[in-house]
Amino acid sequence: MNDSTDSAIVTALLAVRERAYAPYSHHPVGALVVSESGTRYAGANVEVAHYKGICAEASAIAAMASAGERQLREVWVIGPGRHLCTPCGDCRQRIREFATPETRIRVVDAEGRLLKEYDMEALLPDSFGPENLSP
């Protein structure tokens, strides 16, 4: 584990990744989001036979939103290997919906070592968000 990762977060990420349902891709992913209140919400990818499952990040964000929270402080993602398992395009937009300029997105390797950290501008440059819908 890298010094800049929290052992409780890594433990939660490893546990939720183990609960992923990935019978088709065999690529289990876990995510954990920290809301503005400091509450942690975990999610795993859930695949279905028609290949339109839900990503781990979407699962964690849905848990946060379902609890009534609307702002992300941190997003953590863990994949099954030693390489970056960054959020897909859809999840980058989902993160953007609830992010602030201070939100940090961190990707760790399969053991929980920090590989890369992003802010929202680095993750999704020139993004489109709720404020773009205002007149």
**Where does residue 104 fall: left (phi above 0), alpha (psi -120 to 50 degrees), or beta otherwise?**
beta
Catalytic residue, candidates 57, 74, 117, 121: 57
Q: Is 131 a catalytic residue?
A: no
Query: Is 85 a known ligand-binding residue?
Result: no
Residue from 74, 90, 81 nearest 31 by CA: 74
Query: Is 55 a known ligand-binding residue?
Result: yes
Query: Is 22 a known ligand-binding residue?
Result: no
Query: Is 44 a known ligand-binding residue?
Result: no
Binding site, annotated residues for substrate:
45-51
Among all residues, which ones are annotated catalytic?
Answer: 57
Binding site, annotated residues for Zn(2+):
55, 88, 91
Binding site, annotated residues:
45-51, 55, 88, 91
